[in-house]
Chains A and B, each alone.
Chain A
Amino acid sequence: MNRKKILVVDDSPTAIMWQRMILEDEAYDVLTAGDGAEGVRVARESRPDLVLLDVVMPRMNGFDACRAMRADDVTRDVPILMVTTRSEMDQVMRGFESGCNEYITKPVDRTELLTKVRSYLDHSEWHS
């Protein structure tokens, strides 16, 4: 069975390490990028099955990175889950307007992360 690839985009090495440990423990392959622009590039080159995208990042923030991925034919349909400390409604709305599929608040809860990741990956597998 093919292992699913997940791209984690976050400027915090701590956040990346935490999400990587949770996901690799569940046999997902994890790619990483340290800012939005790098995230867009890695997503295009590696075609991940799902993207976990931080919002506040240098160079290109998560909203702009999400829009860039949605505008690209290669990454248009990849599920994107925004990961952020902001839970205010306007921030959530901005995320959905930029094209994300789902929202996860920091600090990331292991069970919530895995449940949401599985729901999108199972869904994509069903339709593939």
Chain B
Amino acid sequence: MTDPDLVARERAAHVAMLEARRELARLREQNEQLVASNGDLSRLLLAAEQRNGDAIKLIVAARRLMEAGSPTDALRSLEEILINVVGTEDFVVLALHGDALVPIAGVGGAVEHARQYPPSRSVVLECLAHQEAVASIRWHGEDVAACIPLRIDSRIVGAIAIANVLPHRAVLDVYDDEVLQLLSKFAASAILSAGHRADWTQLPPSIVS
């Protein structure tokens, strides 16, 4: 004969075990959701940190160009941005004189290459044809990693030719593109305005005079 109390206790234990299993399943599901959510948040954090780094690149490039007190300073800043922010030690900055592009700054073999084989206006026109800030071109039979037209408004007044990026950098990527677009739009204006600023012995009476 079965003890009624024992049966009741067994039933209660069985119910408790079922409840515990349901709770375990619920907690497992919740844990899986938390792991997935944690993964999503980690990816978002990583992307935000990447964007933060990119934003700092743009701020540094813009501030260094704006702060230049003379065209020489502006060109030096431009060189430093290309070395330290973009990552190249083989590039030349060219200014348009008539139909010729004349080297005015740069680092590495690209400068000598530009002197030996002055690129014609067609190099810049080739950039224009791409309708992009950065275009891949060939220059006297050699591949150039990037050619960035320097603009004032819609006019092209020069170019930056990056022959090679640093060896440990694979290629220029989308993150570099924003910096190069900034240089394309504002570097020439910065060089010009730095020249005006250097000529001022005192501030003009008004910024609109």
Contacts and interface: CB of A to CB of B under 8 A. Distances in A.
Contacts of A87: 166-168
Contacts of B167: 87-88
A102 to B, nearest CB: 15
Contacts of B89: 85
Contact of B59 (A21, A85, A109): A21
A14 B81 contact: yes
Nearest to B165: A107
Given A87-B167, A87-B168, A14 B85 contact: yes
> Which interface class (under 10, 10 to 19, 20 to 34, 35 or more) fits B?
20 to 34
A17 interface: yes
B83 A110 contact: no
Contacts of A109: 53
Interface in A1-31: 12-15, 17-18, 21-22, 25
Contacts of A46: none
A14 B87 contact: no
Contacts of B49: 110-111
A101 interface: no
Contact of B84 (A15, A88, A110, A111): A15
A18 B83 contact: no
B166 A110 contact: no
B56 A105 contact: no
Interface string B73-86: 00001001101111
Contacts of A17: 60, 63-64
B168 A105 contact: yes
Nearest to B179: A107
B45 to A, nearest CB: 11
Given A13-B64, A14-B64, A85-B83, A22 B53 contact: yes
A21 B56 CA distance: 7
Contact of A107 (B64, B77, B86): B86
A105 B168 CA distance: 8
B88 to A, nearest CB: 9
Nearest to A105: B168
Interface of B: 46, 49-50, 52-53, 56-57, 59-60, 63-64, 77, 80-81, 83-87, 89, 166-169
16 contacts: A13-B64, A14-B60, A14-B84, A14-B85, A15-B80, A15-B84, A17-B63, A17-B64, A18-B60, A25-B56, A87-B168, A88-B167, A106-B87, A109-B53, A111-B46, A111-B50
Interface of A: 12-15, 17-18, 21-22, 25, 85, 87-88, 105-111
